[in-house]
């Protein structure tokens, strides 16, 4: 389902704590992930960065693209692969099903998206277990770290309701 322009603008703002690119270090990220129930990476560069720090995400959602340019899949690590289709600027029913399957599966899981993964952080904010952490890249700014709390879940579910996602 396509996202309306107002909600798309809202999504351009970090949903959690933004770490500027110049301040993203292994130590800082590790500290922010301490005690996380699950670590979920959305995006190729985010996944690659975590793996370069020796942090293997429980779930990585990638599409083989970086800012619309094709790239090799990041993270040469062993993970069960799941695949889905998700058109740019949308959150497909198929992607929602695969994300739910990934959340129930034994980690590590790599979800390979045919299309675009950018919007898939939204349902993860609303459905990931409390205490999980979702990380994604804020283009040209840095890394966003989202601790899943009741408040963040509610905010994500409200947004999902507005854009018509179950």
Query: Is 73 part of a structural domain of the chain?
Result: yes
pLDDT band at 58 (very low <50, low <70, confident <90, very high): very high
Q: Is residue 57 part of a domain?
A: yes
Number of folded domains that form the chain? 1
pTM of the model as a whole: 0.90
> Sorting pLDDT into bands at 50, 70 and 90, what band is 166?
low
Terminal CA-to-CA distance of the chain, rounded, Å? 11
In a domain, 37, yes or no: yes
Cα Rg, the chain, nearest whole Å: 14
As a whole number, mean pLDDT of residues 45-59 equals: 94
More confident residue, 68 or 99: 99
Whether 58 is covered by a domain: the verdict is yes
Residue 77 sits in which domain range?
A: 16-162
pLDDT at 75 over 60: no
Kindly report, residue by residue over 1-31, the tens digit of the pLDDT.
Answer: 555 667 666 667 899 999 999 999 999 999 9
d(CA 2, CA 85): 14
- In the chain, DSSP assigns E strands to 17-20, 39-42, 59-62, 65-66, 69-70, 80-86, 109-115, 133-138, 142-147
Q: Comparing C-alpha atoms, which of 47, 122, 60, 65 is closest to residue 91?
A: 122
Q: Is residue 11 part of a domain?
A: no
pLDDT single digits (tens) 106-149 = 999 999 999 999 889 999 999 999 999 999 999 889 999 999 99
Residue 6 in any domain: the answer is no
CB 80 within 8 A of CB 106: yes
Considering only residues 160 and 133, tell me which one the structure prediction assigns the higher pLDDT: 133
Residue where the block lists tokens 């277990």: 129
Q: What is the mean pLDDT of the chain?
A: 89
Confidence band of 104 (pLDDT split at 50, 70, 90): very high
Answer whether residue 7 is part of any domain: no
In DSSP terms, 112 is beta-bridged to 62, 83
């Amino acid at each position: 389902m396509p996202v309306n322009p107002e909600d798309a603008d809202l999504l351009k703002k970090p949903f959690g704590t933004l770490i500027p690119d110049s301040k993203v270090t292994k130590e800082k990220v590790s500290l922010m992930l301490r005690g996380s129930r699950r670590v979920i990476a959305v995006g190729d560069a985010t996944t690659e960065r975590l793996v370069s720090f020796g942090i293997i995400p429980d779930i990585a959602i990638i599409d083989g693209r970086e800012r619309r340019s094709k790239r090799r899949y990041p993270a040469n690590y062993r993970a069960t692969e799941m695949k889905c289709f998700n058109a740019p600027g949308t959150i497909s029913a198929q992607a929602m099903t695969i994300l739910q399957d990934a959340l129930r599966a034994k980690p590590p899981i790599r979800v390979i998206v045919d299309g675009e993964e950018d919007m898939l952080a939204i349902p993860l904010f609303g459905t990931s277990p409390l205490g999980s952490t979702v990380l994604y890249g804020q283009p040209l700014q840095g890394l966003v770290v989202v601790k899943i709390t009741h408040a963040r879940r509610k905010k994500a579910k409200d947004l999902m309701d507005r854009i018509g996602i179950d």
